[in-house]
């Protein structure tokens, strides 16, 4: 599978090199061509006997075709196992009922967020790719996080040979538990820095460092290659395709849907990585009707998908779904590439507009293509809170704020279609809501929505216990353990200092 820079078709890498490199030097993201994806279209009927591991193997064999079967199997076995995922039969994305629809529980991994699905296996892909190069360089991973990627990456790369990792999180943004998860990280090759600013600052910082000529020189002199654990890395994106396909297979096998019935997926979206993986699953032949893009008050994507105008010139709101507090959704660039027929010139133009003016507009034709597969809604902070409460009271389930944003958007999608007879059958298609985090990760905010008590007076761990009394679901061990863990990282830096910090790390490696 040839992977092209979205900003220059002639910049091509094989999968192993693209995984090592992360981001292209021209700032583009590595992506297959549209027709190269379609060429691997399957008939879902042929996959019905697949379990999660089988489907993972199929997808990795398609997209990472310079890995041999044995390598892929080893990567899967080292990641999707009982040590990492607290699930039955290694089905790491179990489906449960949510009212008349379904919930895909993606939060049973080592850090209780869906990012574990990709970040348990990315280190395996990266080290496997690296070993087969036979080079003697150290890989230095820089990662910007809006809360969940950071811990998942720190956990995945902990003590991985020849790799070190620094995570940047925004001082304004992550939840207490998320911060504590990162600050208590173990491993001799990890570091964590709070950057004064928001997530977009962190993401810009990392992208700037990758494309900085001076830093590149310093890397060469010190035998270091930079890479990324963010969803700009194709090694992050591809593992997420698997659960869309597998959930469809599971729903058919459990007689919840009939073979070839189309279903909708509702995806709480930030950087557009998760939902883009759903789109690729659709291109590959999964019977998907619509991908419902759910945003919180930072509704850049809702506006874009409805109008064709992407405008990041707006205030970034801090919400209780911090992993979606994002104004620059990096993976949208890959969608524009795919839907424009791999038009690298256009993508570069739009991304230059975004960098220079903070705004771009796509043609009506391109917008139409987007709307064939996507619809978009957003949930305000109040609506999110109300949804958590209602879901607890009516459906008997406790969901995290990101999942609540998605569920609220599903309800909006359903009611918007109700007055339109021809669309009515559309809206009755079953929907799967992607549940991207354990409610325990946001225990305080969730508790505030469902309890009459004064929560503000409680500490975070009392919040976990109280939530446990209400849900009766066990507290994930990685979260209850935080209470007694040593805080190892307490550094806060300015944007400019952060670059120097990285340079020093490269020199001292
Ligand atoms: C990262 C994250 C999201 C958003 O996923 P994207 O791939 O960035 O769109 C949603 N919910 C949670 C809990 C997350 O950690």
List pLDDT tens digits, range 113-139: 999 999 999 999 999 998 888 878 899
Ligand 1, atom 12, residue with closest C-alpha: 436
Q: Which residues have a Cβ under 8 Å from the Cβ of 503 and sit 6 or more positions away?
A: 215, 218
Q: Is 278 helix (H, G, I), strand (E, B) or coil?
A: helix
Candidates 237, 402, 408, 438: which one to mutate for ligand 1, based on the most atoms within 8 Å of Cβ?
402
**Segment 210-216 mean pLDDT:** 91
Edge-to-edge strand ranges of the sheet holding 263-268: 95-98, 101-105, 431-435, 263-268, 288-295, 374-378
Per-residue b or e along 123-141, where b marks 16 or more CB atoms closer than 10 Å to that residue's CB: bbbbbbbbeeeeeeebbbb
Domains contained in the chain, number = 1
Candidates 269, 332, 333, 334: which one to mutate for ligand 1, based on the most atoms within 8 Å of Cβ?
269
Q: Are 102 and 395 in contact (CB under 8 A)?
A: no
Could you tell me the distance, in angstroms and rounded to a whole number, from the CA of residue 355 to the centre of ligand 1?
Answer: 23
Tens of pLDDT, residue by residue over 328-379, are 999 999 999 999 999 999 999 999 999 999 999 999 999 999 999 999 999 9
For the purposes of burial, counting CB atoms within 10 Å of the CB of 417, is it exposed (0-12), middle (13-18) or buried (19 or more)? middle
- Token output for 468: 């446990």
Which of 346, 399, 309 shows the shortest CA–CA distance to 105?
Answer: 399
Note whether residue 246 is domain-resident.
Answer: yes
**CATH of residue 353:** 3.40.50.1100
User: Residue 286: which domain range?
Assistant: 95-111+238-419+426-441
pLDDT band at 401 (very low <50, low <70, confident <90, very high): very high
Candidates 144, 182, 233, 270: which one to mutate for ligand 1, based on the most atoms within 8 Å of Cβ?
270
Note whether residue 187 is domain-resident.
Answer: no
Q: Is 319 helix (H, G, I), strand (E, B) or coil?
A: coil
pLDDT band at 471 (very low <50, low <70, confident <90, very high): confident
Which of 280, 325, 337, 283 shows the shortest CA–CA distance to 301?
Answer: 325
Note whether residue 49 is domain-resident.
Answer: no
Q: What does residue 430 show for φ and ψ, rounded to 5 degrees?
A: -60, 145
Note whether residue 270 is domain-resident.
Answer: yes
Note whether residue 282 is domain-resident.
Answer: yes
What is the residue whose two structure tokens read 């790369």?
A: 157
Which of 89, 71, 81 shows the shortest CA–CA distance to 110?
Answer: 81
Residues with CB under 6 A from ligand 1: 113, 115, 148, 231, 268-274, 323-324, 402, 436-437
Alpha-carbon span 272 to 184, nearest angstrom: 28
pLDDT of residue 434: 98
Note whether residue 10 is domain-resident.
Answer: no
Radius of gyration of the chain (CA): 21
Q: Are 407 and 386 in contact (CB under 8 A)?
A: no
Ligand 1, atom 8, residue with closest C-alpha: 271
Q: What is the pTM of this model?
A: 0.94
Could you tell me the distance, in angstroms and rounded to a whole number, from the CA of residue 450 to the centre of ligand 1?
Answer: 23
């Amino acid at each position: 599978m040839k992977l092209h820079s979205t900003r220059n078709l002639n910049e091509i890498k094989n999968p192993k090199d693209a995984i090592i490199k992360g981001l292209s030097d021209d700032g583009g993201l590595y992506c297959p061509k549209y027709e190269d994806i379609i060429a691997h279209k399957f008939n879902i009927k042929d996959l019905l006997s697949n379990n999660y591991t089988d489907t993972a193997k199929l997808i990795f064999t398609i997209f990472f075709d310079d890995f041999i079967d044995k390598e892929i199997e080893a990567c899967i076995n080292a990641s999707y196992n009982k040590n990492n995922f607290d699930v039955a039969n290694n089905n790491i994305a179990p489906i449960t009922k949510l009212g008349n629809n379904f919930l895909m529980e993606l939060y049973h991994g080592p850090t209780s967020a869906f990012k574990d699905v990709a970040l348990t296996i990315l280190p395996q892909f990266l080290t496997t790719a690296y070993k087969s190069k036979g080079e003697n360089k150290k890989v230095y991973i820089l990662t910007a996080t809006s809360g969940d990627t950071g811990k998942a990456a720190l956990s995945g790369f902990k003590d991985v040979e020849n790799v070190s990792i620094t995570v940047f999180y925004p001082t304004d943004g992550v939840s207490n538990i998320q911060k504590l998860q990162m600050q208590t990280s173990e491993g001799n090759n990890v570091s964590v820095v709070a950057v004064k600013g928001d997530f977009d600052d962190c993401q810009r910082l990392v992208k700037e460092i990758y494309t900085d000529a001076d830093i590149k020189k310093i890397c060469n002199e010190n035998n270091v290659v930079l890479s990324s654990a963010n969803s700009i890395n194709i090694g992050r994106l591809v593992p997420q395709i698997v659960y869309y396909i597998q959930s469809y297979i599971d729903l058919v096998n459990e007689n919840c849907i009939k073979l070839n019935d189309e279903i909708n997926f509702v995806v709480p979206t930030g950087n557009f990585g998760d939902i883009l993986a759903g789109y690729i699953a659709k291109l590959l032949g999964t019977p998907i009707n619509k991908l419902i893009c759910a945003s919180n008050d930072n509704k850049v994507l809702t506006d874009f998908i409805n109008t064709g105008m992407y405008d990041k010139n707006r205030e970034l709101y801090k919400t209780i779904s911090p992993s979606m507090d994002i104004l620059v959704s990096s993976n949208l660039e890959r969608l524009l590439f795919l839907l424009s027929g791999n038009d690298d010139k256009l993508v570069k133009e739009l991304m230059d507009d975004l960098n220079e003016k903070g705004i771009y507009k796509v043609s009506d034709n391109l917008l139409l293509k987007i709307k064939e597969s996507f619809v978009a809604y957003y949930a305000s902070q109040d609506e999110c809170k109300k949804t958590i409460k209602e879901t607890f009271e009516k459906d008997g389930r406790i969901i995290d704020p990101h999942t609540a944003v998605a569920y609220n958007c599903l309800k909006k999608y359903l009611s918007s279609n109700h007055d339109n007879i021809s669309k009515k059958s559309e809206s009755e298609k079953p929907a799967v809501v992607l549940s991207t985090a354990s409610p325990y990760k946001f225990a305080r905010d969730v508790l505030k929505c469902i309890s009459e008590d004064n929560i503000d007076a409680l500490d975070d761990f009392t919040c976990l216990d109280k939530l446990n009394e209400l849900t009766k679901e066990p507290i994930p061990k990685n979260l209850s353990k935080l209470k007694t863990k040593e805080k190892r990282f307490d550094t806060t830096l300015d944007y400019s200092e952060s670059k120097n910090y990285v340079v020093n790390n490269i020199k001292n490696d």
